[in-house]
Structure 1
Amino acid sequence: MSQNRLFLLDAYALIFRGYYALIKNPRINSKGQDTSAILGFTNSLFDVIKREKPDHLAVAFDKGGSKDRLEIFEEYKANRDETPEAIKIAVPIIQEILKALNIPIIELEGVEADDLIGTLAKQAEKEGYQTYMVTPDKDYAQLVSENIFMYRPARMGNGIEIWGIPEVQKKFDVERPEQVIDYLGMMGDAVDNIPGLPGVGDKTARKFIAQFGSMEALFENTDQLKGKMKEKVEANQELGLLSKKLATIITDCDVTFNAEACKLSEPDSDKVQEIFEELEFRRLKDQFLKIFFGNDNTKTNTNTTNKAAGAGQFSLFGSNEEQEDKTASFSSRKTIENTEHFYQSIAPGMATKLFIQNLLKQEQVCFDTETTGLDSLTAELVGIAFSWEKGKGFYIPFPEDQNEAQILIETLRPFFESEAIIKIGQNLKYDIKVLSKYNITVKGILFDTMLAHYLINPDMRHNMDVLSETYLNYTPVSITELIGKKGKNQLSFRDVPVEKQTEYAVEDADITFQLKEHFTPELNEANILSLFEDIEIPLLRVLGAMEIEGINLDKDFLSSLSTELENDIDTLKQKIYEKAGEEFNIASPKQLGVILFEKLKLVDKPKKTKTGQYSTSEDVLSYLSKDHEIIRNILEYRGLSKLKSTYIDALPNQVNTTTGRVHTDYMQTVAATGRLSSNNPNLQNIPIRTERGRQVRKAFIPRDKDHILLAADYSQIELRIIAALSKEETMISAFKNGEDIHASTAAKVFNVPIEEVSREQRSNAKTVNFGIIYGVSAFGLSNQTDLSRSEAKELIDTYYKTYPKLRNYISEQVDFARENGYVQTVLGRRRYLKDINSANAVVRGAAERNAVNAPIQGSAADIIKIAMINIHKKLTDGNFKTKMLLQVHDELVFDVYKPELESIKSIIQSEMENAYTLEVPLDVELGTGENWLEAH
């Protein structure tokens, strides 16, 4: 008989880990609730259950801190920041989820979770259990024995580490796991405010344990120590023993292991699903059904009762046959909301004719194209759905023969090209591009529900299923139910029976129509209707035209560049091997870490990741690169390898076989600041700071010899915006006089005439100028320049004294955000900052930086969008052959018909510089060339 296994989860350790894992991209639902901590913890819990199928499981919570430790040391954990509000709010909800899952919660007033887990683990061991302590906290290593293990999950459920006795021995250089207590006591812990022995760090603690075995033995043999270390150890014996006691996990708490209570049993399915729906955890709800009941149906809820399941365990734990039987017990299904609806497929001939007559009488209509694929430039129409009344809609299937399809779409041309009928859709840019292949132009007022929601709640997801469940309490049919999941067995929508096509397609149109009715008043209430109607909707058409146009690519040049890079990469590889003294996998962080920090010992205390590996991240290596040639070589190797795989080798494969051009997709609803994103391929992230990175731009060329590329770039637009918004006269004056703003800043900050500003002074001033927008600190400035930390602080202080209104503006922005919960751009685009009043300094600091940065970056994004709309209109109205091709942050790229060059230059310069009036003039630099690099 196999040994029973008990899994004990350290709740707060997993909750904090989940919250901070998502700190840069928090999960916010439609109610504005930060659900990151709940999602992170529940993912970890489900991952354990899915991977391990445990016999017994319980979750331990801290409650009121450690009474025992505080009694002996009042400053225990005194350094810790206050718990973030999002975590405080999360804990009772997590406990509610655990109760619904019938998982026991272990907590005791004045006792910490590690003490509860330590006590239960030792008790369970005596009863013959194998216990797994689920936590990222290394302190638990002291409890490890033959039957007690640490189970360390990676972030968001991506892999695990299990530490038994050998792993602990290796990690801490100890003979026995209990010596970890001595290690922790000697070293101390800044997080828990355990003082440790002064002057003793990781290396010294390991050395002392190897030499003496314990802290007590160290104190008994101080005669073997020398110099100041001997003095420090002898003078701090009491502090050392106190630290050891604070680091010791208590294993005799007033708690008793109850095997029956910890036995994993059937959850209250309805209650769990109700909580997940309230939190808007759709994927987690599906995962719950799949893990616990073997149900993989993303369309439905599973209605279960205890009676239906019987008194035994549920399917998670049975044999395959048992799982099938029990899954059947849980198979009663329903949609979230049973709705009355009338969805009709329109037959060819007279029925279509009568339908179109009725269609043309409507004031507003939602339409949705169904196609053979996701690539709008290659997809063919399978059908179009229409809805203009809640619960009602119609579907016109399209023939596979493209000539017949063209004849049918011609009958719908009067609708699509009607200026009088409002066209509603979800991601209308896709539909517009599909219809353009059939020579159909969508005219009239547009309403895109995806764009509307992006303005209303920019931090949330905007796909239709999420919006439907959130705002209409309705779960639509999933496309995978009809065509299957991705892969070679996935069907085309054309293979789906027409009656199912009708239900699916018209449901989408019906839902989207209802969402439009829901979002319109919200746009008005937030004063963003004009931003929606005058900027985002017109831009949708502009981006569609740019994406259809695409850009020409010199594949032969990229092929030769790939060969050159391969040689450069090989040369760098040999240099790295030579410095390392051996060959290894440079792309492996684990192997690289061992070479740099164990073999070459480049630093005394190398930073480690959550999994215990040496960190070889970009920021860690960049910090070390000044002093070590091997690091510089590694960074260059990484950069060239990424450049080769991501762009040089990948771009030729992304050329459209029909047009012979590259067609990127611009996304309006990704960046919360309002900036556009580029995808398939991402042309906004081509590195331009390195020579090789710039070379990639050389591959983008005009359509033919009669055209030339033109690049138009806003000069220092973000600095101009912050100068104007802050009303900082000194900066405004510098811009108005056409001065070099970085030299001007350097002259004032370093108190020298502008003509005597050195290159280094200008460079430092430039770093501060741009850094201020992103809340640069003295530490950050020091890392980016050759300045010491104190010099960097002095420079920032002087900068603010020189530009006092700038500092006032920053304070005012933060105050406005604190009062209103958001900041906004010059056009009223809002960035909501839920953490602006957080008691946690780290979390609050990030929100404060966003309060300053978002209006600047967002205003720059708004201004270039206005310019794009106006330029596109001029090009269209003037019947120019010139086309706008790319937008890369503050830059626009055009394919200019050579005879039009001078006229086009004038139009672009004028429209970009006059897109929005600020107190500071907008300046645009134009360049032309036979490729993008030359033009830029």
Structure 2
Amino acid sequence: MAEKVVLIDGNSIAYRAFFALPLLNNDKGVYTNAVYGFTTMLLKILEEDKPDHLLVAFDAGKTTFRHSTYTEYKGGRQKTPPELSEQFPVLKELLEAFGIPFYQLDQYEADDIIGTLATKADAKEYDVKVISGDKDLLQLVSERTKVTLTKKGITNVDTYDPAFLQEKIGIRPDQVIDLKALMGDSSDNIPGVPGVGEKTAVKLLKQFDKLENLYDNLEDVSGKKLKEKLETNRDEAFMSKQLVTIEREAPIEIDLSDIAYQGYESQKVQNVFRELGFQSLVSRVSQGEDEDEPAVSEEFEPVNFEVITELKEELITGHEALVVEMLQENYHHSPIVGISIVNKEKSYFITIENARESSVFHSWAENPSKEKWVFDAKRTHVALRHHGITLEGVTFDMLLASYLINPSENNHDIPAIAHRLDERAVKYDEEVYGKGAKMKLPDNNNVMYEHVVRKTEILYRLKEKMEKQLKDNEQHQLFTDLEMPLTLILGEMEYCGVKVDVERLKDMKADLQQRLDQVKSEIYELAGEEFNLNSPKQLGPILFEKLDLPVIKKTKTGYSTSADVLEQLEDQHEVVAKILLYRQLGKLQSTYIEGLLKVVDEKSNKIHTRFNQALTQTGRLSSIEPNLQNIPIRLEEGRKIRQAFVPSKEDWVIFASDYSQIELRVLAHIAQDKKLIEAFKEGRDIHTQTASEVFDVEHDEVTANMRRQAKAVNFGIVYGISDYGLSQSLGITRKEAKLFIEKYLDSYPGVKQYMDESIQNAKRLGYVSTFMNRRRYLPDITSRNFNQRSFAERTAMNTPIQGSAADIIKKAMIDLDERLRKEKMQAQMLLQVHDELILEAPKSEVEKLAEVVADVMEHTIELDVPLKVDHSYGPTWYDAK
């Protein structure tokens, strides 16, 4: 068998992938859609073609040798969106992980590199496959060289050999350059002969064979107008032929032997996939590895500890490290497997049963004067509350300290923290318990006892070192005054939970099923037949064969019917909007209504969500199991899910209070922009104000659409949104979006200055800070990698704003908790959802609560612009909005 050579046009495929897929970000905010699309295509090539030689060719720059012939070559092209440009370095890192060579050459295009190598391979009688989205490469087609062209996206392709080229277009491979010479190419700004399209060009080539022969026999061309066009544009036609001709002898410094492909190291590729967030692709390169196998770990010197059945007062010093061990992450339902207490005298282990029965343990745990250092105070507080023990006197939380010191780290468990601080004598939890479905207690209890004590001893030893780090970073006050008090408030909110009307949820489920059945019937009627709506294999042929909708992209199994495909087809046929609605309603039913019913506590009819306090790099809280911050409210059916959240007592109401445009107010304060500050001080609508500035009209002349566009600019500009990103969100041209951004920055010069200074300060310090000195480190701010540097620059601009807004609402929660206690009010905080606090309160307290909440939230911190709070209340969370 002949050796196989695969040559990929890197720029063309990345470009196609970028526009075929919606903008995707990984958890670090790096754009990845082009890389993801390219990767799926690459995996398919490796699996199906199994190439012996492989190369990805890239364009080296904007200027090529063709520009000396025609300076306007490719002159009409729009600037590459930065969201795509940023992905090329990432793509090259991915290729390196795969061990795939890539190459570019100054003054030459990827086409010329491919053409040169394809010609060499063809001469050696190798089988060549060229992959691109550029029809120019069809001139390389031969009996041995096939060219695969993307049609729509990157999965819908045609593969050309000489016979298919003849069938599809009606020309030979050597006539491709003559075809292009006549019809031109607007994408590359190649003039050709104006007025001559593909059909006319093919007809002329069938009659005259070549461009030269055509012009030698111009008098034989039928049609006076066509003859005149050809005569007038003779020079342009021959110049166009020269421009489109691929150079097959480019001075490349690589040969076929340099692009021999030996395959890839699975682990290396998996690591890159995980970093990029391509979890769904990991299994395709795992090659049967068992990821559940715990790592082999060295054994350590045993620790000295005592297993006690009864805690005695003389064992307590008043400065204890405490670890309450649970295997499962969800501590509302996970049993405590043991408790370890460590002080300067000794280390102890006690079972939860013995601790619960011990009056000494209760009095020690609940004594605020007995200082305790813990790991994850919130988790510990909630777990002990479930056993009737209220934890007081917590002065240090190792999890929160680690989070503030290293906000970009994903793992903040005790062994991970210890290893970062050069304390190696501890195993990771999965080495002791296993992980996932294999997680269990070790057969020998002493193994577990020792592991828990070892972690507690490390906590005891590292407390002072971590506190020093916080002080050195000027973050000790943030730790003691904000995060520590907040964690116990959140713990109490989690323990109390939110009451749910289960019957109402069940009624919603039934109503939603009726609505789903109705929409399904409407879809069947529009489609003219019944089929399985949840099966892409059945839906695809209905849409793309029976209803003849344009095919956007294909998968291995047939037509793609993904959400992004359907959204592009929504205006083509009314059935598409119905299918999208059906999917949205289905997700509401399965993910939210059924999901909520699964986590309702059977005894109390309450939901106990868990707040993540040590997760986001901006300091924002998130919630899980269930995520109550993410209930979709754009659809009315989604909003109605909030009707199921009710007060826990009769004659009480749900009370909601949220900050109005807090991030824009923070921006005005940080940027010290006079116009923004003035607008907020005077209570003007900031989106109308921006629309007035950008569109140069009076306030009363601002239309609803102008205000909508200004709102997108207001919220997008400071987060580094590009003209491409803004054009996508507003459905306008990039030129219009670019003009918007320029006018905005002209109107608010303070914002422009803030953006520039944020980046410069981040480069100087290596991090950015919030009002309360929460840090986010940006090691990539000076990176040579364009993609990483660009993301770091966007982060430098938005983190001080998002992070300061998060700090403000956290401080408001602490101040409000203190104020409610001081006023002896019964109202309780239930949830925090972004910039909003949800409480429950007796109806008799509502009037006073409105005053108290507004006073606290609006004055929790003083800015140069007023903070404004809106509130509402009602019998359900739905009615409180």
Which aligned pairs between 1:499-898 and structure 2 lie closer than 5 A?
A: 499-510=446-457, 519-576=466-523, 629-630=574-575, 632-743=577-688, 759=704, 762-763=707-708, 765-774=710-719, 803-817=748-762, 819-833=764-778, 848-876=793-821, 880-898=825-843
Which aligned pairs between 1:164-203 and structure 2 lie closer than 5 A?
A: 195=190
Q: CA separation in 2, counterparts of 1:532 and 1:783? A: 40
Partner of 1:396: 349
Which aligned pairs between 1:437-516 and structure 2 lie closer than 5 A?
A: 437-464=386-413, 467=417, 470-472=420-422, 474=424, 477-487=427-437, 490-493=438-441, 496-510=443-457
Give the counterpart letter for 2:308 in structure 1.
P
Go from structure 1 to structure 2 and tell me whether the alpha carbon gap of 1:372 and 1:218 turns closer, same or farther (over 3 Å shift): same
Question: Which of 377, 389, 392 is matched with 2:332 structurally?
Answer: 377
Q: CA separation in 2, counterparts of 1:470 and 1:40? A: 32
Q: CA separation in 2, counterparts of 1:199 and 1:116? A: 30
Deviations 1:135-158 (CA, angstroms, capped at 9, x unpaired): 9999989889999899999xxxxx
Question: Which of 361, 364, 373 is matched with 2:317 structurally?
Answer: 361
Give the counterpart letter for 2:487 in structure 1.
L
Go from structure 1 to structure 2 and tell me whether the alpha carbon gap of 1:696 and 1:44 turns closer, same or farther (over 3 Å shift): closer
Go from structure 1 to structure 2 and tell me whether the alpha carbon gap of 1:572 and 1:250 turns closer, same or farther (over 3 Å shift): farther
Structure with the larger RCO, 1 or 2 (CA within 8 Å, 6+ apart): 2
SS in 1 for 2:331: coil
Q: CA separation in 1, counterparts of 2:359 and 2:163? A: 70
Which aligned pairs between 1:198-237 and structure 2 lie closer than 5 A?
A: 231=229, 236-237=236-237
Q: Are residues 1:431 and 2:377 paired?
A: no
Aligned-residue CA RMSD in angstroms? 6.1
Q: CA separation in 1, counterparts of 2:43 and 2:839? A: 50
Shift of 1:497: 2.0
Q: CA separation in 2, counterparts of 1:815 and 1:171? A: 58
Bigger Cα displacement from structure 2, 338-347 vs 214-223: 214-223
Partner of 2:306: 346
Q: CA separation in 2, counterparts of 1:249 and 1:27? A: 43
Q: CA separation in 1, counterparts of 2:18 and 2:420? A: 23
Residue identity (%) = 31
Aligned residues of 1:424 and 1:512 also touching (Cα < 8 A): yes
Q: CA separation in 2, counterparts of 1:841 and 1:199? A: 40
Bigger Cα displacement from structure 2, 159-168 vs 886-895: 159-168
Shift of 1:701: 0.9
Bigger Cα displacement from structure 2, 866-875 vs 6-15: 6-15
Aligned residues of 1:172 and 1:206 also touching (Cα < 8 A): no
Shift of 1:906: 3.2
Q: CA separation in 1, counterparts of 2:140 and 2:628? A: 52
Aligned residues of 1:161 and 1:611 also touching (Cα < 8 A): no
Aligned residues of 1:370 and 1:505 also touching (Cα < 8 A): yes
TM-score, normalised with respect to structure 2: 0.75
Q: Are residues 1:241 and 2:241 paired?
A: yes
Give the counterpart letter for 2:329 in structure 1.
L
SS in 1 for 2:374: strand
Give the counterpart letter for 1:411 in structure 2.
F
Q: Which runs of 5+ in 1 are unaligned?
A: 154-158, 301-333
Q: Are residues 1:925 and 2:870 paired?
A: yes
Go from structure 1 to structure 2 and tell me whether the alpha carbon gap of 1:615 and 1:51 turns closer, same or farther (over 3 Å shift): closer
SS in 2 for 1:343: coil
Shift of 1:656: 2.1
Go from structure 1 to structure 2 and tell me whether the alpha carbon gap of 1:189 and 1:520 turns closer, same or farther (over 3 Å shift): farther
Shift of 1:882: 2.6
Deviations 1:166-193 (CA, angstroms, capped at 9, x unpaired): 99969995799969977999999999x6
Shift of 1:719: 2.8
Q: CA separation in 1, counterparts of 2:207 and 2:557? A: 24
Give the counterpart letter for 2:302 in structure 1.
F
Deviations 1:402-437 (CA, angstroms, capped at 9, x unpaired): x55622595375257454434131x44222221221
Shift of 1:377: 1.2
Deviations 1:814-858 (CA, angstroms, capped at 9, x unpaired): 444455454432222334455656788887665555444333222
Shift of 1:866: 0.5
Bigger Cα displacement from structure 2, 746-755 vs 641-650: 746-755
Go from structure 1 to structure 2 and tell me whether the alpha carbon gap of 1:40 and 1:730 turns closer, same or farther (over 3 Å shift): closer
SS in 2 for 1:932: coil
Q: CA separation in 1, counterparts of 2:557 and 2:716? A: 33
Aligned residues of 2:659 and 2:870 also touching (Cα < 8 A): yes
Give the counterpart letter for 1:735 in structure 2.
F
Q: CA separation in 2, counterparts of 1:90 and 1:724? A: 39
Aligned residues of 1:576 and 1:633 also touching (Cα < 8 A): yes
SS in 2 for 1:683: coil
Aligned residues of 1:133 and 1:150 also touching (Cα < 8 A): yes
Go from structure 1 to structure 2 and tell me whether the alpha carbon gap of 1:689 and 1:70 turns closer, same or farther (over 3 Å shift): same
Go from structure 1 to structure 2 and tell me whether the alpha carbon gap of 1:742 and 1:280 turns closer, same or farther (over 3 Å shift): closer
Give the counterpart letter for 1:530 in structure 2.
Q
Partner of 1:312: none
Aligned residues of 1:393 and 1:510 also touching (Cα < 8 A): no
Shift of 1:713: 1.5
Shift of 1:865: 0.6
Aligned residues of 2:812 and 2:856 also touching (Cα < 8 A): yes
Q: CA separation in 2, counterparts of 1:875 and 1:190? A: 68
Bigger Cα displacement from structure 2, 757-766 vs 222-231: 222-231
Shift of 1:884: 0.8
Go from structure 1 to structure 2 and tell me whether the alpha carbon gap of 1:623 and 1:294 turns closer, same or farther (over 3 Å shift): closer
Q: CA separation in 2, counterparts of 1:144 and 1:672? A: 52
TM-score, normalised with respect to structure 1: 0.71
Shift of 1:700: 0.9
Go from structure 1 to structure 2 and tell me whether the alpha carbon gap of 1:237 and 1:35 turns closer, same or farther (over 3 Å shift): closer
Shift of 1:343: 2.6
Deviations 1:297-342 (CA, angstroms, capped at 9, x unpaired): 8654xxxxxxxxxxxxxxxxxxxxxxxxxxxxxxxxx64xx68543
Go from structure 1 to structure 2 and tell me whether the alpha carbon gap of 1:618 and 1:106 turns closer, same or farther (over 3 Å shift): closer
Q: CA separation in 2, counterparts of 1:190 and 1:442? A: 72
Q: Which runs of 5+ in 2 are unaligned?
A: none
Deviations 1:544-568 (CA, angstroms, capped at 9, x unpaired): 1111111111222233333333343
Q: CA separation in 1, counterparts of 2:38 and 2:729? A: 39
Give the counterpart letter for 2:478 in structure 1.
L
Shift of 1:528: 2.7
Paired residue total: 860
Aligned residues of 2:498 and 2:648 also touching (Cα < 8 A): yes
Go from structure 1 to structure 2 and tell me whether the alpha carbon gap of 1:535 and 1:791 turns closer, same or farther (over 3 Å shift): same
Give the counterpart letter for 1:370 in structure 2.
E
Q: CA separation in 2, counterparts of 1:55 and 1:147? A: 14
